[in-house]
Structure 1
């Protein structure tokens, strides 16, 4: 069985022109990114934008693809599932930041290097290259 999810690294510029990166805290207390499963009839891009809106309250615009993560996991009734997660760089264009409490513990904005530090300290290892890729697209040096 194959399962496709999509999400993104969301960014914005403050009124003062400062770049900020959005991170969520998932239900397990880990730093993560908004993402979720594709629904029937959706493109991966539509899935990414819908999931971002549902989990964070923000309407976004896709700027560029970042990368994909692929892995397998065992599902109790479906057996081995091939999971594919597509990530995009997404600019927040409207909405009010609000965590979907059924899915995640919190969501907030961070300066890019602070977001990178938080990802490395308490994020999922497979998201390191996604956050790094987003920062690279935004021309932020991580080293």
Structure 2
């Protein structure tokens, strides 16, 4: 039995408010700080998946400004066995919608200053999202302390 491949996509969403940048973070159902993402549906491109998942989870519609990174890992699924997982992250500028957490999936969603967002990620985020958020902030011209 070969490994199953699973592709997900999501993004770091930002908006400009009075010339300032704000970054969106979600709180997942485990109470951790995270980024909106989800599985690719048949017939979708990864970009479409990212934007759909962001809209579904956070209520925000946006446009992709840049690809950020692809995280790859393998996990074990009770039925499928070994799954090779690929998560594509994009930098997404919010263009519409209104902030609303998808109750079934996540606990909350909010906008933060880049500094606050980075602090929250370091304190209660997932390690593999550090690089994603750092890259997003770099693309937005914001420096984060620590190694790149």
Q: For structure 1, which runs of at least 5 residues remain unmatched after alignment?
A: none
Q: TM-score, normalised by structure 2?
A: 0.95
> What's the TM-score once normalised by structure 1's chain length?
0.98
What corresponds to 1:99 in structure 2?
A: 101
Structure 2 counterpart of 1:2: 5
SS at match of 2:22: strand
Deviations 1:11-63 (A, max 9, x none): 0011x221100000000000000000000000000000000000000101000
Structure 2 residues not aligned, in runs of 5+: none
Provide the residue aligned with 2:15 in structure 1. 12
CA distance in 2, matches of 1:142, 1:125: 15
Q: Report the count of equivalent residues.
A: 142
Structure 1 residue runs of 4 or more that deviate by more than 4 Å after TM superposition: none
Residue 65 of structure 2 is matched in structure 1 by: 63
Confirm or deny that 1:90 pairs with 2:92: yes
Quote the RMSD (CA, aligned, Å). Answer: 0.4
1:75 aligns with: 77
